[in-house]
Each structure stands twice: as structure tokens, then as C-alpha cells.
Amino acid sequence: MPIVTGKSQRWRVWAAHAALWVLLALTLFPLLAVISISLRPGNFATGSLIPTTISFEHWQLALGIPYTQPDGTVVQPPFPVLLWLWNSIKIATISSLLIVAISTTAAYAFARLKFARKQALLNSMLLLQMFPVAVALVAIYAIFEGLGQQIPWLGIETHAGLIVAYLGGVAMHIWTIKGYFESIPVEIEENAKVDGATHWQAFRLVLLPMAVPILMVVFVLAFIGTIIEYPVASILLREEPNLTLAVGSKFYLYEQKYLWGDFAAAAVLSGLPITLVFLLAQKWIVSGLTSGGVKG
């Protein structure tokens, strides 16, 4: 953009670079520090931020391999990080697949079919989604407690229950997919119907193959959303082997048992893949953000 340039222009550029560097240092400090801490021997060593000796003990423990200290004592992994990661991935994958399936069909109805009070229904769904789940935790707990007494595999402490609990968060995804469906010309499906296809066939065989990109985006968004979900998981899952990463990670930093180094390795191990997926999906997340959604 054209701005009046003067003699001070060069100084201004330098000042801006300097300010950005300071800010970058502050922003990246926690992320770089945690990598360095994960490579530093011991859980309490403080002092040098760049480790003088590199030790992979925390990484070994995070990967579930017992670590033998120089004096011969064997340290067992404090927490089953890989099991938690597996739980998280399992729950996130299944619930995201179901979320994609549910929101795709609903989005199809909103985009293509005529029915009474369509706009009112869509608006109330979007409005409902503004109430954070964290506020209704008591009711969610009570619901699954009651459900578990009748159907044990859906109760508290079950992954199936948690997956089912996540199925309510579909409004934003319906909105996203609906927007994409509306950008596909309706004539293609109409031609198929002229040729004798039913609604379902037009949807399943004509529209869906064209919508694969947006379905993948919604899958990734739902996946990230469920893998970082903490409040609901923390009340439904309590037993150590059952936990997801989001619930389990906090146990590293209890005052009585402070495992800073072990936490750092587990955090990098589990955080890095999620961060990479997020950065890859950044483009779509950002377009969703600017169209009015809020991170939640």
C-alpha cells in the first residue's frame, strides 16, 4: 500500500523487524523450551535452557520403554502415553466419521430439499451450538450415569459413551458442508433424477463424489476438535488406562509428583502431529473463522 515515504523509512523497517523478532522470541519461547526440556536429563534440572548433555530418557519413557539410569536403577514409564494417544485417536476417528456422516446428510437436506421451517431450524441449531458443553457438564454426567445403568457399554468410563456424547456438535459442520453443496450446480443431480435416480442415489452417487474435498476438511476439523476436547472427556473418563491424552497429560504436573521432563517429551510427541495436521488444514480453518465461526 502506498504510504508517504521519508528519510526515516529505513529506520522504521528496522524497528519493525526488531519488534517482530522480540515478539517472535516471546511467542516461540514456550515451544522451543519444551523441546529442549524433553532432551534434558532429569526432571528437576534447571539452569541452562540449551541442554549441555542430551539425554533421551524422557523420550524412552514417553514411548513406553523402561529407562535404566547410570546407577543401574530402572525407571518405569510413569504413564501409558501411547495407550492414551491410541485412545484419543480411536475416539476422534470414530466420532469424526460419524459426525461427517450425520452432518453430510443433514447438510444435503438444508441445501437441496424443501421442507417447512428450514431457516428457523438452521438458525436454532447454530444458536444452540453457542452454549458451551462445559456449562452443561452436570447434566451430561447425569445422563450417562443413568444411561450406563440400562446400557452398560454406553455409561461412564466407556469410550462408546464419549463418542456418542460428541455427536451433538454438528451445527458448524452442517453449515460448512451446506455452503459447499450450494456451490455445486444443482442441474447435475436433476439430470440424474431425470434418468431415474432416487433422492438417495442422486445424493450418494452424484453429489457425494463431488463433495469429497469438503468432507475431508470437515473430517479433519472434527478430528482436531475431538482430540483436543477436555471438559466432557474429563468427567466421563476417570480410570488411567481409559483416559485420552487431553485428560491424562495433566497428571504429569501434580505438586506431589512433578515430572516436568517426562511431560515435555510426551507433550512434544503428542502435540507435534496434531499441530502439523492443524497447520495443513489451516487454510480451511481460517476461511471458516472469517465467515463467522469462533474457535470452540
Residue numbers 147-176 binding another protein by CB under 8 A = 147, 149-150, 164-171, 174
Asked if 186 and 112 touch (Cβ cutoff 8 Å), the reply is yes
Minimum gap (Å) between residue 134 Cβ and another protein: 4
223 binds another protein (CB under 8 A): no
24 binds another protein (CB under 8 A): yes
C-alpha cell recorded at residue 290: 472469517
Binding residue for another protein (CB under 8 A) from 65, 205, 216, 253? 253
Minimum gap (Å) between residue 112 Cβ and another protein: 9
2 binds another protein (CB under 8 A): yes
Q: In this chain, which stretch among 27-35, 55-63, 182-190, 208-216 interacts with another protein, using CB under 8 A?
A: 27-35
DSSP string, 216-242: HHHHHHHHHHHHT--HHHHHH--SGGG
18 binds another protein (CB under 8 A): no
139 binds another protein (CB under 8 A): yes
Q: Is 82 exposed, middle or buried (0-12, 13-18, 19+ CB in 10 A)?
A: middle
231 binds another protein (CB under 8 A): yes
Q: Which residues within the stretch 51-110 sit at the binding site for another protein (CB under 8 A)?
A: 101-103, 105-106, 108-110
115 binds another protein (CB under 8 A): yes
49 binds another protein (CB under 8 A): yes
Q: Any alpha helices (H) in the chain, and if so which ranges?
A: 9-38, 57-62, 81-112, 118-128, 137-150, 159-165, 171-183, 187-194, 199-201, 208-210, 212-227, 231-236, 245-248, 260-280, 282-290
Q: Give the CA-trace dihedral at 91, 94, 98, 99, to 10 degrees.
A: 50
Q: In this chain, which stretch among 4-12, 69-77, 180-188, 205-213 interacts with another protein, using CB under 8 A?
A: 4-12
CB nearer to another protein: give 65 or 128.
128
250 binds another protein (CB under 8 A): yes
